[in-house]
Structure 1
Amino acid sequence: MTAYTLTLNNGRTARAELHDDRALLWLGNEILTELALEPGGGEQIRLSGALPLEPQPQALLPLLAELFCRRPQLLRVVLVLACSRDFATAAVRHGVATEVSADGQAWLLRCERATFWQQPALWLTTPSSAGMALDYVVSGGKRHPRRAPTPQGVVYRRYLPALDSTITLRVAELDRDLNAFHDWMNQERVHRFWELAGDKASHATYLQAQLDDPKVVPLIGEFDGEAFAYFETYWAKEDRIAPFYDVADFDRGCHVLVGNSRHRGPAKVTVWMRALSHYLFLDDPRTQRIVGEPRVDNSRFIAYLQSQGFGKLKEFDFPHKRSAMVVLEREAFAGQYGPWGEE
């Protein structure tokens, strides 16, 4: 298995191998096709060949992953395939390619970096929130879309080729994570901004409340299975931030802390920031913005956020703190600040 093996809806696995002048696309234990990799590179790569047996279009994603994930400068992959028109247009309808055109007896599929990274199949490990039909409810005096039940276990996983490491995000578990959560919250640098230092019982009550809150998905970040951070993600429409800006139905927000000192600092911050943003945008294509409200005196963290595409819109006052309003737009993330630039 490679780092970008994908299990298709029919249970078969797709994977790809890159060589100097060709790429092999596997379906299960058989080579589906061998594509010629044309010389050159830079911002665009072109591959061509026949596709005699036509799989689900998503079977092309591991090939695109081997290219886009390992070549940060790559903007576009052009596939020239001897295939049916039905397969070519299905690839566009499924979001694998952005456009298709005839090229003699073949079909030319253009695959863009910005749209590739918005494909959830390779990264999400549980069903997304996008399957929920739009149905409005009122809670806490706020009208908002009904939210999907809180997922369980690992929700996002991605291999980082430059680090030879894997980052995962999983939903917090009280029994499993309370000790680390308790330790992290009692660190002085964390308490300065979270103001949640206390005993283990109070932290158990707090964490359980987040797990029970339908607007919150509390996540634990891990590098190669080692927990390093707590990410408290939320739907902004139901949150305290909503009255302070023109909130949309599917805006997401997050509060973050990195408690494991082995993974602190600028060497890792870009990696986990982009992974967290990637997850939130993948979880629901209707999410167009990620927002935050860090305390205004947390200048280092605000600077990190701005370096990752968050814009500081204004400062405003909660009853308990003065905050900076920061926003990351999906279009900016997909075009400029996606996972390809993290290492």
Structure 2
Amino acid sequence: MAKKIVASTNMNFYCELPELGQTLYARPVSYADDLHLLHQWMHQRHVAPFWKKDIPLEEFKEYFTKSLNNKSRSHFMIYLDEEPICYIMLYEVTSDSIKDYYPYEESDLGVHIVIGLRQHVHEKYLIPIGEILKTHVFTKLPADRVIAEPDVANRIIIPSLEKVGFRIHSQIELPHKSAFLLHCDRETFTPTREITYT
């Protein structure tokens, strides 16, 4: 089962991207280091309509603190060389309301992804990020499936997830959005990226 494991697994790792001549590096989120950057990202025009966290800083502090203290979640930042480009949250489906929308398994994990700047919302970045995410989950965590529930209007992230092995399961109506429920299974996982833990 995935309980309490997502929050305790080593998330310091990197992956070379020879096609870009660059490196993706992952590290755990830090409240002190990342609060203001993530608050800025939530106000970006390509992020705000989907996350709906373009709120005043004091409100965001409350949300961020509560999320970081949630032991059924893990949060990490992705860097492209020295530049932070992506925020990822992994969460245990059993602790989230998404479990009411499909026949979940106890070890299922969900993922939320934020690409900070519009210039990085591109398949050449999204696909490697998806590939290293899958590799991390299926080599380090006891999950047999990862799910995502992007807004149906998100026409960039959905095709990118499909290209790294996610499949659309259904369309669901959540309280705050219409979403496609996508899933990626361990049984179909083939490593396509080598990641190194530090």
Q: Provide the C-alpha distance between the structure 1 equivalents of 2:111 and 2:7, rounded to a whole number of angstroms.
A: 15
Taking a change above 3 Å as real, the CA distance of residues 245 and 291 of structure 1, as seen in their structure-2 partners, is same
2:193 is matched with 339
Deviation of residue 154 (structure 1)? 4.5
Partner-residue secondary structure (3-state), 2:127: helix
Deviations 1:13-40 (A, max 9, x none): xxxxxxxxxxxxxxxxxxxxxxxxxxxx
Aligned amino acid, residue 313 of structure 1: H
Partner-residue secondary structure (3-state), 1:309: coil
Partner-residue secondary structure (3-state), 1:257: strand
- Correspondence 1:294 to 2:155: no
**Structure 1 residues not aligned, in runs of 5+:** 1-133, 135-144
Aligned amino acid, residue 289 of structure 1: R
Aligned amino acid, residue 155 of structure 1: N
RMSD of the alignment, in Å?
2.1
Deviations 1:93-117 (A, max 9, x none): xxxxxxxxxxxxxxxxxxxxxxxxx
Q: Provide the C-alpha distance between the structure 2 equivalents of 1:248 and 1:279, rounded to a whole number of angstroms.
A: 19
* Structure (1 or 2) with the larger CA radius of gyration: 1
1:200 is matched with 57
Give runs of aligned pairs for residues 135-284 of structure 1, distance below 5 A: 146-148=3-5, 150-151=7-8, 154-284=11-141
Deviations 1:185-229 (A, max 9, x none): 011220111111022222222211111001111111111232111
Q: Provide the C-alpha distance between the structure 2 equivalents of 1:258 and 1:156, rounded to a whole number of angstroms.
A: 18
TM-score by length of 2: 0.88
Taking a change above 3 Å as real, the CA distance of residues 146 and 289 of structure 1, as seen in their structure-2 partners, is closer
Deviation of residue 290 (structure 1)? 0.7
Higher mean C-alpha displacement, 239-248 vs 188-197? 239-248
Q: Provide the C-alpha distance between the structure 2 equivalents of 1:241 and 1:256, rounded to a whole number of angstroms.
A: 16
Deviations 1:221-242 (A, max 9, x none): 1112321111111111211111
Aligned amino acid, residue 186 of structure 2: R
Aligned amino acid, residue 296 of structure 1: V
* Aligned 8 A contact 1:169 1:221 in 2: yes
Partner-residue secondary structure (3-state), 1:269: helix
Taking a change above 3 Å as real, the CA distance of residues 157 and 277 of structure 1, as seen in their structure-2 partners, is same
Percent of aligned positions that are identical: 23
1:112 is matched with none
Q: Provide the C-alpha distance between the structure 2 equivalents of 1:241 and 1:235, rounded to a whole number of angstroms.
A: 10
Q: Provide the C-alpha distance between the structure 1 equivalents of 2:17 and 2:6, rounded to a whole number of angstroms.
A: 29
TM-score by length of 1: 0.53
Q: Provide the C-alpha distance between the structure 1 equivalents of 2:131 and 2:100, rounded to a whole number of angstroms.
A: 27
1:322 is matched with 178
- Aligned residue-pair number: 194
Taking a change above 3 Å as real, the CA distance of residues 151 and 227 of structure 1, as seen in their structure-2 partners, is farther
Q: Provide the C-alpha distance between the structure 2 equivalents of 1:146 and 1:296, rounded to a whole number of angstroms.
A: 29
Deviations 1:226-278 (A, max 9, x none): 21111111111211111222211211111111113453312211111111121
* Aligned 8 A contact 1:234 1:254 in 2: yes
* Aligned 8 A contact 1:154 1:168 in 2: no
* Aligned 8 A contact 1:315 1:324 in 2: yes
Give runs of aligned pairs for residues 69-80 of structure 1, distance below 5 A: none
Higher mean C-alpha displacement, 247-256 vs 296-305? 296-305
**Structure 2 residues not aligned, in runs of 5+:** none
Deviation of residue 309 (structure 1)? 1.3
